[in-house]
Amino acid sequence: MEYKFVFQAVPEQEELFRQVSQGLEKLTEMYSREKLPGLWKVTDRLNRAQEGKAPISSGRRNFRRVMALVDWLLGIFALIPAVQSPRELGTLLAVGAAAFGVGAGMLWVLLPRTLGVLSLLISLPLIMGSLGNPDQLGNLLGLGVLLLLLGLAVLFSKFRRKENPYERAARDLLSHARDFQRDTQAEALLFLPEGIGYTVPEGVELSEPGLLDYGKLEAMVETADLWLMVAEQKGMILQKQEFQGDPDGFRTFLQEKGVRIIPA
């Protein structure tokens, strides 16, 4: 019995990228669980406890949002007169700064877009007023600039999502998905009872003769549309649409060879 993957080009699709990223995350978790079983016991226990907790109701969530917004606005209203007379209104300055900081921190988590837009809207009249009348409103320039920078920072972080390590690795793996095929001119990958090999067109010499032993196959990560084969610290993407054979029989075959199958 043999199972074959006939190589095809790997399309640059967001769905495949997402699946590879999830597969790499599952693979990393497997390695981590093997090296740190005690830590994962604690993690699993905490996750189960967290799942048992009742979710936060929409009413409580909205209440937190309103309180965060009120806290932030009160902080600004307290800071506007306080920064103009910091010596006389030192206590108000401290209270306003605390309310502003707490409110901004909560809004960044709960309503980041609202925080960004309001910060920009409030910063403009403060900056323009302080520049237009520096004698009376000059001290407001610092507060206006602070709000301007806060608004820009929040909106920039909101619209610019940072890739996690799994996504970067997935993008790199997809970009090199068919390097093996290009380097060896392989047409198909064969899973044979005695090992893993590949076929080449007639007249082309095998650049890596011999078969890969299943003992060197660390894992096969399965996603909805892909198999991610990991052997000797290297990964290869195999598309299910390239597969020729019985999928259930292939899984059983791998398990009989001692290969770990990781669903992602």
pLDDT per residue as tens digits for the range 60-81: 888 888 999 999 999 999 998 9
- How many whole angstroms separate alpha carbon 229 and alpha carbon 261? 10
Residue 221 pLDDT > 90, yes or no? yes
Strands 234-239 and 261-263: unpaired
pLDDT of residue 44: 76
Structural contact between residues 263 and 29, judged by C-beta atoms closer than 8 angstroms? no
Residue 49 pLDDT > 90, yes or no? no
- How many whole angstroms separate alpha carbon 174 and alpha carbon 20? 8
- How many whole angstroms separate alpha carbon 110 and alpha carbon 96? 20
- How many whole angstroms separate alpha carbon 43 and alpha carbon 37? 10
pLDDT of residue 64: 86
Q: Which residues contact 139 (CB under 8 A, 6 or more apart)?
A: 83, 84, 86, 130
- How many whole angstroms separate alpha carbon 48 and alpha carbon 57? 20
Structural domains of the chain ordered from first start: 3-37+176-263 (3.30.720.210), 58-159 (no CATH)
The letter for the amino acid at 82 is A
Residue 179 pLDDT > 80, yes or no? yes
> What's the chain's average pLDDT?
87
The first and second tokens of residue 57, run together, are: 């109701």
- How many whole angstroms separate alpha carbon 26 and alpha carbon 218? 13
- The whole model's pTM is what? 0.58
Q: What is the pLDDT of residues 107-145, one digit of tens each?
A: 988 889 999 999 999 999 999 988 888 888 888 888 899
Residue 155 pLDDT > 80, yes or no? yes
Q: Which residue has better confidence, 123 or 54? A: 123
pLDDT of residue 180: 86
